């Protein structure tokens, strides 16, 4: 047990405990937390964005934090971070970028890189780790997209998925 905690740290901890009990976000201590979660929608979005922008899984970069297990890309530095985060939050309109189905933060919404992170050596980190390359979409759709590029994924949706549905429909109509 750490008994040398500062008064400020103890106070903050107490505030968080009280917030948690009354359904208030433990991060900003202001907004209402998402049902069955400890954070509000905005704070949860921030977490999702920060997690998405992690880059060095092997902790090899100069500013890597062993506590977090990975560090942020260079272009996600402190001055740029606020702008990138607010730009990405502003993109959320409650629907999936690819399918238009409703998505909910803390439940079904996830972040997707249009040009996937695996393509960083081809396109460069600046093109990949940019607010313009990030979209909100349904978790299931995000899993389907996987490491496909935005263009390839759209083509794949139409070519394979839609063709299959159309063919099933035709068969159903004829039977």
| Residue with smaller CB distance to Zn ion, 41 or 133 | 41
Q: Are 56 and 64 in contact (CB under 8 A)?
A: yes
| Residue 154 neighbours by CB under 8 Å, 6+ apart | 98
CB of 46 to Zn ion, least distance (A): 8
| Residue with smaller CB distance to Zn ion, 92 or 156 | 92
Q: Please list the residues that pair with 102 across neighbouring strands.
A: 95
Burial of 56 (0-12, 13-18, 19+ CB in 10 A): middle
- The Cα 104–Cα 161 span in angstroms is 24
| Residue with smaller CB distance to Zn ion, 28 or 131 | 28
- Kindly identify the residues of this chain, within the stretch 17-56, that bind Zn ion according to CB under 5 A: 25, 27-28, 31, 40, 43
CB of 88 to Zn ion, least distance (A): 16
Using CB under 5 A as the binding rule, whether residue 111 contacts Zn ion is answered as: no
| Residue with smaller CB distance to Zn ion, 28 or 80 | 28
CB of 43 to Zn ion, least distance (A): 3
């Amino acid at each position: 047990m750490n008994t040398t905690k500062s008064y400020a740290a103890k106070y903050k901890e107490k505030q968080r405990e009280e917030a948690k009990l009354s359904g208030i976000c433990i991060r900003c201590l202001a907004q209402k937390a998402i049902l069955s979660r400890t954070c509000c929608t905005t704070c949860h979005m921030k977490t999702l964005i920060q997690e998405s922008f992690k880059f060095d899984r092997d902790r090899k970069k100069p500013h890597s934090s062993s506590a977090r297990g990975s560090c942020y890309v260079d272009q996600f530095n402190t001055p740029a971070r606020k702008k990138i985060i607010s730009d990405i939050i502003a993109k959320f309109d409650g629907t999936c970028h690819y399918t238009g189905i409703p998505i909910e933060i803390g439940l079904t919404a996830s972040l997707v890189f249009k040009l996937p992170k695996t393509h960083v050596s081809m396109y460069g980190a600046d093109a990949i780790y940019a607010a313009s390359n990030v979209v909100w979409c349904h978790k299931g759709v995000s899993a389907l997209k996987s490491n496909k590029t935005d263009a390839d994924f759209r083509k794949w949706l139409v070519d394979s998925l839609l063709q299959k549905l159309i063919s099933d429909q035709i068969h159903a109509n004829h039977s």
